[in-house]
Structure 1
């Protein structure tokens, strides 16, 4: 219980100084820089050659692995072992994401630096505002922090299951199996070699180490990519909540009688200046959401296209693999968990895309009901309010060339397509 309480204490940030005014992105989310450093983005020594070592090695290793998987797929199709072929294709898809993630990040370094600088400015500025703004913003950031660790725990749990399952079975063979049982040493992923046995020494040891390394690489790329993507998007979803508070307080604490004074009157000028400042802040936040979501889409667009294009096929093949195992009286729980993870990695950006669209469209309603009809001060900013309401009708969407707007409708469509492919495969197999 002590370890569990310590983990809970850390995830809930119970030791964090919530009252300090100098909270920055790096201070609240120290894991963010580490995640980008793994992807080849250094924030202190930005031009260091060292940053390329891990991405280049990872890309080369996964290219070798994808070449092997292509050979395995061809072997499975040739001998009509479709269970072997489908499993290899799923791993081929997962490994193919590594190079796309690294290239998307490294080719868009200036955009990433600009994006994170804007996020840091949001922290600094909002934490200097009133208590209600701080609480709303930091509560949202705490949720992102928790979701980060929940996701990391999930992907490391899946990876540890793959490794521990193999190691336990290998240990069992070493202790209890007899020489005449002709047991085959287990590997995490199926392997075939032409005119050779992958299970003989030293082939087995080399392939086992290679597969463990591949699991670690996929966690550091695709696993962290999913986290970084939802962190960035949820940051701006959280910023919309701050805008809603600003709209509610647009006319609070101002001299209502100043609206009837002449334009040159100092009291009216002061009120007008304050209203313009408040409205300007709202507009800047609103525009930054559009600009930042467009930047996120351009940076991670290739990977999102890759996800959307292949997810229906991969989820279909994973479900087919699980069903074939069940038909044979076995249940591959590892592949079942991997199938669940494949659905979740697609659901996350689609769900957040719907949240962003809905919340952003609500800004127009919030502006209309901000109380302008009950105060003469609305005359001072009526044109600004009209322009903002019109601008808020444009939805905030994750868009990229060849990519539909990521919404829950997109997720539903992909899952329906996967189910159709699954039924076709089952019918073909039954014939």
Structure 2
């Protein structure tokens, strides 16, 4: 068994060789292959039909769960049990994201592989550079590694608590509750059947297993979806740090006197070629950011549209459930955690979108402040600087039809809408 120190060393990558000359994306982030494999993307045998088996199984179970939730919502509205109806609607919205994410990834398999290839090329290139480039880049990758497992643990904890609390309650009933107390065996999510009792044997056992599987599906889909989002966005945030480092030394160790020489003089041509080489690397870094964000947009655009569109409703329904339980003198800590997770999963892409946007605008400022006006060499790259500054005015953001800009202002707007919907729902409930 691993000791606490072993877990700490694994989390901090204490035993990882950061100077390994063969380091690449998959050596630093081995979890990527596993996460994509369970979502139907294989690396060793990319065209294998076996990759569709597991996605087909859990998407089929998800569609079954969505059908049940629609039945439950209709029943709750019919009997005017709006707490039951809103809870089922909340679960319906959350579970709906599972097939949307998986279908989007499977249909854009080629773009996913291209995106991973770009990430890997960055690793291979940076490992060949000097320490001033490699160290901050790998430290950024270490942060991504740690955030991955922190998010994974948080997501597993939230989903597992629904199952664990149910099993603990079931164990308590089995050990201490007598038959004449007429208790109902618990399920992670409430159920109802039109002409049958879902809590009788064997219905109860079947639905318990199905609900546990749905919790697992949520973990493997939504956890990976959000992780890939912040992995790629943070990766290119640190790539733009490489641009800043390049601007700091763009005129370093270059002979300024060649500016006075003829344009065709060999010394001036040599200096011009060196400056062009340095500028080319900066431009390639910059273009790679735009290109990769386009890949991210095409792959994860549909899930993000759904996520942003329905988050205000989902958060509103969770807040309503929490308030309804408080009115009864109870605390629904599972819904409190679920509401917190819903806010975090929305905040992450919005925060990173703002971070990446500001970092991209800072590229233009770095170009302007690189010292071109303090050296005559600046006139040799004047047109390149103008083009790059103009290019840097275009915001680096995920774009997709129907998707607002992913930034903190969007998060604030969604939270305001959630609060407004919550107030309307509470007012309707009190009448």
TM-score range, shorter chain: over 0.9
Q: Greater shift after overlay, 46-55 or 375-384?
A: 375-384
Q: CA deviation at 1:133?
A: 0.5
Equivalent positions of 1:189-268 (< 5 A) are 189-268=189-268
Whether 1:86 and 2:86 are equivalent positions in the alignment is yes
Equivalent positions of 1:7-406 (< 5 A) are 7-406=7-406
Q: CA deviation at 1:110?
A: 1.1
> How far apart, in 1, do the equivalents of 2:157 and 2:289 lie?
34
Q: CA deviation at 1:232?
A: 1.1
* Structure 2 unmatched ranges of 5 or more: none
> How far apart, in 2, do the equivalents of 1:258 and 1:364 lie?
27
Q: Greater shift after overlay, 63-72 or 111-120?
A: 111-120
* Structure 1 unmatched ranges of 5 or more: none
> How far apart, in 1, do the equivalents of 2:259 and 2:326 lie?
74
Three-state SS of the structure 1 residue aligned to 2:251 is coil
Q: Greater shift after overlay, 263-272 or 105-114?
A: 263-272
Q: Deviations over 1:139-176 (max 9, x none)?
A: 11111111101000101111221111111111111111
Decide whether the 8 Å contact of 2:160 with 2:215 is kept in 1: no
> How far apart, in 2, do the equivalents of 1:131 and 1:224 lie?
31
> How far apart, in 2, do the equivalents of 1:231 and 1:189 lie?
32
Q: CA deviation at 1:195?
A: 2.0
> How far apart, in 2, do the equivalents of 1:395 and 1:135 lie?
27
> How far apart, in 2, do the equivalents of 1:418 and 1:4 lie?
41
> How far apart, in 1, do the equivalents of 2:185 and 2:99 lie?
31
Q: Deviations over 1:15-41 (max 9, x none)?
A: 111112221111111001111111111
Aligned length: 431
> How far apart, in 1, do the equivalents of 2:116 and 2:260 lie?
44
2:422 maps to 422
Q: CA deviation at 1:351?
A: 0.7
Q: Deviations over 1:341-369 (max 9, x none)?
A: 01111111111110011110011111010
Q: Greater shift after overlay, 375-384 or 149-158?
A: 375-384
> How far apart, in 2, do the equivalents of 1:269 and 1:284 lie?
22
RMSD of the TM alignment (CA)?
A: 1.2
Q: Greater shift after overlay, 251-260 or 278-287?
A: 251-260
Q: CA deviation at 1:2?
A: 7.1
> How far apart, in 2, do the equivalents of 1:125 and 1:268 lie?
29
> How far apart, in 2, do the equivalents of 1:357 and 1:178 lie?
61
> How far apart, in 1, do the equivalents of 2:179 and 2:392 lie?
73
Q: CA deviation at 1:294?
A: 1.4
Q: Deviations over 1:207-227 (max 9, x none)?
A: 111111111111111221111
Three-state SS of the structure 2 residue aligned to 1:226 is helix
> How far apart, in 1, do the equivalents of 2:6 and 2:255 lie?
51
Q: CA deviation at 1:242?
A: 1.1
TM-score normalised to the size of structure 2?
A: 0.98
Q: CA deviation at 1:3?
A: 3.0
> How far apart, in 1, do the equivalents of 2:160 and 2:378 lie?
60
> How far apart, in 1, do the equivalents of 2:387 and 2:193 lie?
66
TM-score normalised to the size of structure 1?
A: 0.98
Three-state SS of the structure 1 residue aligned to 2:3 is helix
> How far apart, in 2, do the equivalents of 1:84 and 1:375 lie?
71
> How far apart, in 1, do the equivalents of 2:27 and 2:257 lie?
44
Three-state SS of the structure 2 residue aligned to 1:377 is helix
> How far apart, in 2, do the equivalents of 1:167 and 1:6 lie?
30
Q: CA deviation at 1:109?
A: 1.0
Three-state SS of the structure 2 residue aligned to 1:173 is helix
> How far apart, in 1, do the equivalents of 2:242 and 2:7 lie?
30
Decide whether the 8 Å contact of 2:188 with 2:208 is kept in 1: yes
Q: CA deviation at 1:258?
A: 2.6
